[in-house]
Amino acid sequence: MPKFSSRFSAFPIYPLAHIPARKKALLAAGVDVIDLGAGDADLPPPPKAVAALQAAAEVPAMQRYGFGLGHVPYREAISAWMHTRFGQRVDPLTEIVPLLGSKEGLAHVAFAYLGAGDVAIIPDPAYQAYLGGTLMSDATPYVYALRPRTNFLVELDEIPAAVMARTRVLYLNYPNNPTAAIAPREYLERVVQTCRERDILLVYDNAYSEMGFDGYVPPSIFEIEGARDVAIEFHSLSKTYNMTGWRCGWAVAKPEIAGALTKVKSFTDTGQYMGIQAAGVAAIESWAEFVPQNLAVFAARRDAAVAAFRANGFACEAPKATMYLWIPLPDGMSSAAFCDRLREEQGVIAMPGSGFGAGGEGFFRISFIQEGPRIAEAARRAGVVLAAMQQASETIGA
Ligand SMILES: Cc1ncc(COP(=O)(O)O)c(C=O)c1O
């Protein structure tokens, strides 16, 4: 049997890895499963994006390799949107990198900036592509626990000087998955300043930039002065337009940084199907009409979720952004044990906080990927498991 590399052996189990098989088994057993696991909405993409893909399928030139350049109108649509939405001028050809979903870019960018002996600071819990890119680059992850104490912000002042001296990359994601936290502008200013002082690449994952509620409008990192010198920002069609499976995103950075990611990618992929990029153009161009009504659906689900989980014994805050509720469990209750029981006994799929890293222990995450009444039913079932586990621990304690 060929031996795995030590790099590969350092990979933990991916958080969602075993869920699809368990879900299938539960459904086969006739269980009424409520899946609130992945951030993968049940809602349709913009109709114009679907029509654009259908039309593109008939165009012979679209069938060829896109290469790094891809479908130029996609770059132009992104550039126009970055200006409309964030007031940022971005050159379509040199400052945008089309991606096969933002995940691969988030991981691949590490290859250009990290090597053995280098450190990447990674929030914990976090989206696992950051860890993947760091480990595949043979660099050392320094995980910083996101806890209520710092409003789920990574406070760089708390990181030991010896670690900061070796840090070449900082991964940040606000609005945040899984905690749903947002970052105040003053915080982002401090982060950009530190990255500039120390020549750290700030990898800013803005996958949820279009999912702000109650009038909150998430910024681009490039709205912060000086960020262009050190930051690369990642965007995605996945959450904004309900297009997770289409695998379409992009990165924005100054030409030197964007070019580095493009170069890495030229050795690992040959570009997204240009028909999908044409659909991406249609999606981005439907932003003004599509996003507000889509967001209203998520806002209503959020309200239903917060009310229902509170009514069933959970103390949760209403998030200002994202499609997630990050729900605390009583002290000492294992999030994995809770979610295992919730799934196996009640047929509800939720994500244990510890699945996103040890710093996520004590919480679990649900996604707003079902209608309000189904989320409310999931909350009811979660309340049953919570009560049973609390009673069991009281009995043991007595
Ligand atoms: C924080 C974060 N970044 C990036 C992504 C990946 O998005 P994409 O579908 O563009 O790869 C996700 C998806 O869940 C996410 O939660």
Nearest CA to ligand 1 atom 13: 39
Same domain, 65 and 169: yes
With b for 16 or more beta-carbon neighbours within 10 A and e for fewer, the 258-277 pattern comes to: bbbbbebbeeeeebbbbbbb
Atom of ligand 1 nearest to the CA of 205: 3
Indicate if 191 and 59 belong to the same structural domain: yes
The residue nearest atom 16 of ligand 1, judged by CA position, is 177
Same domain? 326 vs 253? no
Cβ atoms of 221 and 204 closer than 8 Å: yes
How would you write the pLDDT of the chain (398 residues) with one tens digit per residue? 999 998 898 888 887 778 899 999 999 999 999 999 999 999 999 999 999 999 999 999 999 999 999 999 999 999 999 999 999 999 999 999 999 999 999 999 999 999 999 999 999 999 999 999 999 999 999 999 999 999 999 999 999 999 999 999 999 999 999 999 999 999 999 999 999 999 999 999 999 999 999 999 999 999 999 999 999 999 999 999 999 999 999 999 999 999 999 999 999 999 999 999 999 999 999 999 999 999 999 999 999 999 999 999 999 989 999 999 999 999 999 999 999 999 999 999 999 999 998 999 999 999 999 999 999 999 999 999 999 999 888 776 65
Alpha-carbon distance 45 to 40, whole Å? 12
The Å distance, Cα 237 to ligand 1 centre, comes to 9
Residues 227 and 108 in one domain: yes
Measured distance CA(105)–CA(133) in Å, rounded: 9
Which of 78, 103, 109, 211 for a ligand 1 pocket mutation test, highest count of atoms within 8 Å of Cβ?
Answer: 103
Provide the domain count of the chain.
Answer: 2
Q: Which of 36, 104, 127, 351 to mutate to test the pocket of ligand 1 (most atoms within 8 A of CB)?
A: 127
**1 within domain boundaries:** no
Helix (H/G/I), strand (E/B), else coil: 249? strand
Closest CA to 38 of 204, 205, 239, 233: 239
Tell which of 286, 312, 329 closes a domain: 286
The reply to whether 300 and 371 lie within a common domain is yes
User: Does one domain contain both 67 and 113?
Assistant: yes
The ligand 1 atom at the shortest distance from the C-alpha of residue 106 is: 4
Q: Give the pLDDT score at 217.
A: 98
Amino acid at 76: E
| pTM for this prediction | 0.96
Ligand 1 atom nearest the C-alpha of 40 is: 14
Same domain, 131 and 215: yes
Query: 102 C-alpha to center of ligand 1: Å?
Result: 6
- How far apart CA 386 and CA 364 sit, in angstroms, is 12
Spatial contact of 368 and 319, defined as CB atoms under 8 Å apart: no
Look at residue 395 and tell me if it is in a domain.
Answer: no
Distance between CA atoms of 335 and 353, rounded to whole angstroms? 6
Indicate whether 359 belongs to any domain: yes
- Asked if the structure places residue 81 within a domain, the reply is yes
- Measured between its terminal Cα atoms, the distance across the chain in Å is 52
Domain boundary among 228, 263, 286: 286
Ligand 1 pocket test: pick from 78, 97, 102, 128 the residue with the most ligand atoms within 8 Å of its Cβ.
102
| 282 and 350 housed in the same domain | no
Same domain, 84 and 187: yes
Ligand 1 mean position, distance from CA 213 (Å): 19
Q: Whose CA is nearest to atom 12 of ligand 1?
A: 207
Same domain, 58 and 33: no
The span from the CA of 245 to the CA of 238, in Å, is: 7
Asked whether residue 396 is assigned to any structural domain, the reply reads no
Q: Are residues 112 and 67 in the same domain?
A: yes
Of 286, 305, 322, which residue constitutes the final position of a domain? Answer: 286
- CB 332: neighbour CB atoms within 10 A? 7
Q: Which of 154, 236, 365, 369 to mutate to test the pocket of ligand 1 (most atoms within 8 A of CB)?
A: 236
Is residue 235 in some structural domain?
Answer: yes
Number of H helices, E strands in the chain: 15, 12
Query: Does residue 397 belong to any structural domain of this protein?
Result: no
CATH number, domain of 376, equals: 3.90.1150.10
Note whether 317 and 189 are same-domain residues: no
Å from CA of 222 to ligand 1 middle:
19
**Ligand 1, residues at Cβ distance < 6 Å:** 39, 101-103, 127, 173, 177, 205, 207, 236, 238, 244, 249
Domain containing 383 equals 6-44+289-390
Nearest atom in ligand 1 to the alpha carbon of residue 237 is 10
Answer whether residue 398 is part of any domain.
no
What spacing in Å lies between the alpha carbon of 148 and ligand 1's midpoint?
Answer: 23
